[in-house]
């Protein structure tokens, strides 16, 4: 993908701090916050200032750097600070496996740098380089996902997506949205239907914003309209991102994804999941084992800045749901499109 798509970057390392785009303020305000500590990053992830599995992992990687770069003493003390920062950041959100994948990678590399007897300054620089590598690798990974996904779409197709799996959820380009940017650059006309995605409205605030900025044909719909739009024959495919894919192909994604998958199956519409290999968790056997984050009631009762439900009403607010692998047509990764049986073919992806 050329740099045609200049989209907003979710995080930017700026020498001594992490400049983080506060996604809660989009689409009305573009504000980058200067983060200088582990707690700053923890709070940003917890409160969805940065969100989306790969973007969360990237932010956490820089959080580990921020939490260890001012340590004096020796490499052992630095390594303790790295592990302490990673442990804290691991408590920010439970579902997106990229958070833990990135933290594990940073801890393992830090241990290697210390074992290699690098100087303290050398360890710190090497760890920063690792966080930068995680971010730059994700850009290329998303571009490859876009290439493989676009092979599944034809000019004139209508494609529905749920939540935001775009440049704002990754280093750039996105996973589910990557093919739309590529299609736009190559003159392939795709019509995108974006679910607004209650309660936090990632679809309305972020996906519609990203795609409109890029000149992609996007139509915003309420979540409860997906079935009607499919029934009109306007949707030829569905593509979504994911926060964690279990070893059997069960998919954790934004709440409402399972409903979209059931509707797609009922209308014989292919349901694609786009993700980097870092979102595939072979250590989790099936979707029932994926921790589902529950968030505050206020996201539902006061989500538009005004109360829309009676005070004290009981609320259930799971941020994700599980789509059983039987509803998934294919999983699109940087290495190619993976088809069932997922319990076999996902392992093959990792050459296991
Ligand atoms: C490319 S990962 C995008 C993924 O993350 C979103 O969740 P959240 O906005 O709560 O971080 C949603 O599940 C998207 O599909």
State the CATH number of the domain containing residue 110: 1.20.120.420
| Single residue among 143, 162, 196 that ends a domain in this structure | 143
- Check whether residue 97 and residue 192 sit in a common domain: no
As beta bridge partners, residue 330 has 272
- Check whether residue 236 and residue 124 sit in a common domain: no
Is the CB of residue 319 below 6 angstroms from any atom belonging to ligand 1? yes
- Check whether residue 248 and residue 212 sit in a common domain: yes
23, 53, 294: residue to mutate for ligand 1 pocket, most atoms within 8 A of CB: 53
Instruction: Please count the other Cβ atoms lying within 10 Å of the Cβ belonging to residue 276.
Output: 24
| Single residue among 83, 116, 143 that ends a domain in this structure | 143
In a domain, 3, yes or no: no
53 belongs to an annotated ligand binding site:
yes
Give catalytic residue positions: 243
Q: Look at residue 1 in the predicted model and tell me its pLDDT.
A: 45
57, 242, 290, 323: residue to mutate for ligand 1 pocket, most atoms within 8 A of CB: 242
- Check whether residue 199 and residue 325 sit in a common domain: yes
Is the CB of residue 254 below 6 angstroms from any atom belonging to ligand 1? yes
Q: Look at residue 31 in the predicted model and tell me its pLDDT.
A: 97
- Check whether residue 119 and residue 48 sit in a common domain: yes
- Check whether residue 168 and residue 126 sit in a common domain: no
In a domain, 67, yes or no: yes
- Check whether residue 52 and residue 194 sit in a common domain: no
Ligand 1 atom 6 nearest Cα: 52
Q: What is the pLDDT along the chain (352 residues), one digit of tens a residue?
A: 444 445 789 999 998 899 999 999 999 999 999 999 999 999 999 999 999 999 999 999 999 999 999 999 999 999 999 999 999 999 999 999 999 999 999 999 999 999 999 999 999 999 999 999 999 999 999 999 999 999 999 999 999 999 999 999 999 999 999 999 999 999 999 999 999 999 999 999 999 999 999 999 999 999 999 999 999 999 999 999 999 999 999 999 999 999 999 999 999 999 999 999 999 999 999 999 999 999 999 999 998 889 999 999 999 999 999 999 999 999 999 999 999 999 999 999 998 7
Q: Are 19 and 12 in contact (CB under 8 A)?
A: yes
319 belongs to an annotated ligand binding site:
no
Q: Look at residue 195 in the predicted model and tell me its pLDDT.
A: 98
Q: Are 318 and 292 in contact (CB under 8 A)?
A: yes
In a domain, 149, yes or no: no
| Single residue among 109, 143, 177 that ends a domain in this structure | 143
Q: Look at residue 3 in the predicted model and tell me its pLDDT.
A: 40
How far apart are the C-alpha atoms of 120 and 141, rounded to whole Å? 31
With a CB cutoff of 8 Å and minimum separation 6, the contacts of 127 are: 64, 65, 68, 69, 82, 106, 109, 110, 113
- Check whether residue 158 and residue 298 sit in a common domain: yes
Task: List the strands of the sheet with 271-274, edge to edge.
Answer: 217-221, 191-195, 158-161, 237-240, 271-274, 330-333, 336-338
In a domain, 6, yes or no: no
In a domain, 238, yes or no: yes
Is the CB of residue 253 below 6 angstroms from any atom belonging to ligand 1? yes
Q: Look at residue 114 in the predicted model and tell me its pLDDT.
A: 96
- Check whether residue 212 and residue 241 sit in a common domain: yes
Q: Look at residue 60 in the predicted model and tell me its pLDDT.
A: 98
202 belongs to an annotated ligand binding site:
yes
In a domain, 274, yes or no: yes
Is the CB of residue 165 below 6 angstroms from any atom belonging to ligand 1? yes
How far apart are the C-alpha atoms of 65 and 78, rounded to whole Å? 10
Which residue, among 232, 51, 43, 60, has the nearest Cα to 131 in the 3D structure?
60
In a domain, 173, yes or no: yes
- Check whether residue 90 and residue 227 sit in a common domain: no
In a domain, 304, yes or no: yes
**Alpha carbon separation from 345 to 149, 204, 238, 249, 335 (Å, rounded):** 18, 34, 21, 9, 12
Domain count, the chain: 2
Domain that holds residue 329: 154-349
- Check whether residue 233 and residue 286 sit in a common domain: yes
- Check whether residue 129 and residue 222 sit in a common domain: no
51 belongs to an annotated ligand binding site:
yes
Q: Look at residue 304 in the predicted model and tell me its pLDDT.
A: 80
DSSP state, residue 93 = -
The CATH code of the domain that includes 175 is 3.40.50.10470
């Amino acid at each position: 993908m050329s740099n045609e798509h200049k989209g907003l970057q979710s995080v930017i390392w700026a020498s001594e701090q992490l400049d983080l785009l506060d996604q809660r303020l989009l689409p009305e305000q573009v504000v980058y916050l200067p983060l200088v500590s582990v707690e700053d990053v923890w709070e940003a992830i917890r409160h969805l200032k940065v969100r989306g599995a790969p973007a969360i992992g990237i932010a956490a990687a820089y959080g580990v750097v921020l939490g260890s770069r001012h340590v004096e003493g020796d490499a052992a003390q630095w390594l303790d600070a790295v592990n302490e920062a990673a442990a804290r950041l691991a408590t920010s959100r439970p579902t997106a496996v990229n958070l833990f994948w990135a933290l594990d990678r940073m801890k393992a590399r830090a241990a290697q740098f210390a074992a290699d007897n690098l100087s303290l300054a050398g360890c710190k620089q090497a760890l920063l380089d690792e966080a930068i590598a995680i971010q730059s690798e994700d850009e290329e990974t998303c571009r490859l996902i876009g290439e493989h996904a676009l092979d599944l779409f034809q000019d004139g197709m209508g494609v529905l997506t749920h939540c935001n799996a775009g440049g704002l959820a990754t280093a750039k380009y996105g996973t589910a949205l990557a093919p739309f940017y590529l299609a736009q650059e190559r003159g392939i006309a795709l019509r995108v239907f974006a679910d607004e995605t209650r309660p936090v409205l990632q679809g309305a605030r972020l996906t519609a914003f990203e795609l409109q900025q890029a000149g992609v044909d996007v139509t915003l719909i309420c979540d409860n309209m997906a079935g009607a739009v499919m029934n009109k024959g306007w949707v030829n495919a569905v593509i979504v991102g994911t926060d964690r894919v279990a070893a059997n192909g069960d998919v954790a994604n934004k709440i409402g994804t399972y409903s979209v998958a059931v509707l797609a199956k009922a209308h014989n519409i292919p349901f694609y999941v786009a993700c980097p290999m870092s979102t595939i968790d072979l250590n989790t056997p099936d979707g029932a084992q994926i921790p589902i984050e529950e968030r505050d009631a206020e996201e539902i009762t006061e989500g538009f800045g005004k109360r829309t439900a009676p005070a004290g009403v009981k609320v259930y607010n799971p941020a994700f749901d599980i789509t059983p692998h039987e509803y998934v047509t294919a999983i699109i990764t940087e290495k190619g499109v993976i088809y069932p049986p997922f319990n076999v073919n996902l392992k093959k992806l990792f050459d296991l």
